[in-house]
A and B are shown apart, each in its own frame.
Chain A
C-alpha cells in the first residue's frame, strides 16, 4: 500500500519518515498550540492543564488508557467542546473564538463512526463534502473513494460495511474539505490486525501527502510504529511528550535478553556481564536487562562458551511505550 500515489494536494516532504523527522523542537511555529487546557465535569478534572504543540506535517499521537482524557482533549481542539480554561490555536485560528473557521480547515473522525443509514458510501462522501464546503464533483468523490480503497463498496450502505471499511469511510469523510490538520480518534479500535495495518498505511500516506495528523490511541505499538511524536496522557495530564524512540531511550532499561539455559545454572554461576543492569532467572529461563544489547549479548555468548552452556531460544525484546507508561505511572496501559 505504501506505493500508492498520494493524491492529495500540497504534496511536500515525501521523504519525511520517523527516522529523519526533525528532532529539534525549535523549528517552524507549531500548527497546533495548546496551553493550559482545562475541562471539568463536576469535581472531576477530565483534562487538567494540558500543554501541547503539534508540528506541521507530523503524525502526533496521544497515548493513554481509557478515561485518560484523550478524547476530551481532542474534542476541545476540534472545537466540539468548550474548554473551561486554556488557549487553543490551530493553523493560526483561535479555536474558542472562531470554531466555524476552524472547521473549514480541519478534518475530523469521531470515535463513534455512526453515520446516516440508507445512504451509500459515495452519497455520504458527497453529502459531507457539501456540508464541509469541499469539492463535491464526481471526480473528487471517486478520488477519495480510491484513496481509502472503497471502490467495491462505494454503492453500499454503511451497515453493509465491515468495521475496517467503516473506519476508512470515516477517514474519507474527514478529508472531504482537503483539511490541513486531520484528527482521528482511536481510528483502529476494534479492528483486526490486517485492517489495522491497512489503516496505518493510509494514515502514513496522509502525512506523506503533506497533512498533519493528530490521533488518539491506547495501543502502544500503534503509537510506536505510526507516530512521529507521542504525548502520553494519564488522569487528564500530559506526563511525557517526545518521539517514541526518545521516550524509550529515556528508560533505564532498553532491552531484555532472554534465553533458556541448558543445563540450567544459577545467575551467580554466570556472574556479572558488561552492560547488564539486572540478571535473573525463572526456572531455566534467564532474563538479562540492559541498555546496550550488542555489548551485553556479546559478553553473554562468551560467558556461555566458557561455562559450556547452550543458550536456547535466544531472543531480545526492545522496551516499548508500554514500559514507558509503566515506568511513568507504575501501572500498565491496559489496566
Chain B
C-alpha cells in the first residue's frame, strides 16, 4: 500500500511541477472561461424586449415606437405565445404584453421578466418599467396604462452558466485523453515502463496509481474552474456540487480509458499526440462546449450523439446550473460508464511494455 501511495504522490508531484501540463490543465481552460465569459457577458447595454399587442391601442403603439427608437432596447414584436416562449428559453429579458382597452380606460399591461437570471432580468425590468412610467406620464392626468409585473423562471441560461460546465468537461477530456496518452507513450518510448517492470510493483498498481492521481487532479481542476467561474465571470451555481464532482470522476474515467487505448496502440509520442488530438478536437467543437448542440446542422446530430464529451458537458450543466438531479442524468452517466468499461477492457488487451517487439 505504501508503494501505491508513493507512486500516486509522485504522479501528483510530477504534474504540479510540469509547466506544460499546468498550462493545458489549468491556464488553458481558465483563459477560455475568462475570455469567452467577458466576450459574451450579459452585462451588455442591449436589453431584449418582446412586445405583444403593440397595435392594441394608441398608447401601446407609441410606447413601442419610442422603445424601438431608444438605444439599449432591442425590440421584437410577436404574439404572446411565441414571445413568452422566447423569454422562457432566455432569448428575451423582458416581455411586455399590452392588453386591449376601451377609450379612456387604462391599458392593462403585463410585464414578464426572467427571474432565473436576476442580474440581467432586474436591470431589464427596471429599464422597461421606468420607460413605461415615463411614456405613460402623458398630458392626461390619469395613467394610460396599468402595469402588472410577473416573474418567469426561464430555462435559458446565461452564456457563462452554459460555458463553465462545458469548459470543465473539456478540461477533463483534455487531461484524460491528451495528457494520459502522451505521458504513457513517452514512458514506454523512454524505457520508464520497463524500469517499472524491473521492480516487483505490479502493472495493475502502476496504472491504478496513475488513475487515482488523475482523478485527484480532475477534482482540483473542477474546484479551481468553478471558483474562478463564480468569482471572475459571475457563474451562478444552481444545483448540487456533490453531483457535479461525481460526474467529474465518472467523466474522467471515461476519458482516461480513451487515453489508455490511444497509448496502447500509438507507436510513438508524436503518433499518440496526433491521434489524441484527432479524437479530442472534433469533440471540443461538436459536443457543445462553447455553443449548444441544437445550433449544429441536422446532418451532424447523429455524430454528436456519439461523442462522450457531449454527455459529460450535458450532465455537468444539468447538475451545476439547472438544478438537475443525479438520477435524471442516467443517460449521461450510462454513456460515460460504458465508455470507461469498453476503453479499459480494450486498453488492457492492447497493453505493451515496449515500443517495438525487439
Contacts and interface: CB of A to CB of B under 8 A. Distances in A.
Interface of A: 41, 46, 78-80, 100, 103-104, 108, 110-112, 114-119, 123, 126-128, 130-133, 136, 173
Interface of B: 2-3, 6-7, 10, 13-14, 17-18, 190-192, 194-202, 357-358
Contacts, number: 68
Contacts of B195: 108, 110, 114-115, 173
Contact of A80 (B13, B14, B194, B202): B194
B3, B14, B18, B199 interface centre (most CB from chain A within 10 Å): B199
Ordered nearest first, which 4 A-B pairs have the shortest CB separation?
A114-B190, A130-B6, A112-B191, A131-B201
Contacts of A118: 13-14, 17-18
A127 B191 contact: no
Contact of A41 (B191, B194, B357): B357
B190 A127 contact: no
Contacts of A110: 191, 194-195, 198
B14 A131 contact: no
Given A126-B6, A127-B6, A132 B194 contact: no
Given A114-B191, A130-B3, A131-B196, A41 B358 contact: yes
B208 to A, nearest CB: 13
Contacts of B13: 118-119, 123
Contacts of B190: 112, 114
Given A103-B198, A103-B199, A131 B192 contact: no
Contacts of B198: 78-80, 103, 108, 110
Contacts of B200: 100, 103-104, 131-133
Given A114-B191, A116-B192, A136-B6, A131 B18 contact: no
6 contacts: A46-B358, A80-B198, A100-B202, A108-B198, A118-B17, A131-B201
A123 B358 CA distance: 31
Contacts of B194: 80, 110, 112
A115 B6 CA distance: 16
Contacts of B358: 41, 46
Contacts of B196: 131
Contacts of B199: 103, 128, 131-132
A80 B243 CA distance: 44
Contacts of B17: 118
B194 to A, nearest CB: 6
B3 A133 contact: yes
Nearest to B200: A103
Contacts of B192: 114-116
A237 B6 CA distance: 42
A104 B200 CA distance: 6
Contacts of A108: 195, 198
A213 to B, nearest CB: 16
Contacts of A127: 6-7, 10
Contacts of A41: 357-358
A80 B192 CA distance: 13
A82 to B, nearest CB: 12
Contacts of B18: 117-118
A112 B193 CA distance: 11
Contacts of B191: 110-112, 114
A248 to B, nearest CB: 34
Contacts of A117: 14, 18
Contacts of A132: 199-201
A187 B194 CA distance: 17
A131 B7 contact: yes
A123 B10 contact: yes
A307 to B, nearest CB: 60
A115 B7 CA distance: 13
Contacts of B357: 41
Contacts of B3: 130-131, 133
Given A126-B6, A132-B200, 14 more contacts: A79-B198, A80-B194, A100-B202, A103-B199, A108-B198, A116-B14, A116-B192, A117-B18, A118-B17, A127-B6, A130-B6, A131-B3, A133-B3, A133-B200
Identify which of A111, A130, A136 gathers the most chain B CB atoms within 10 Å of its CB.
A130
Given A41-B358, A114-B191, A130 B197 contact: no
Contact of A136 (B2, B10, B197): B2
B191 to A, nearest CB: 4
Give the one of B200, B201, B358 with max A CB within 10 A: B200
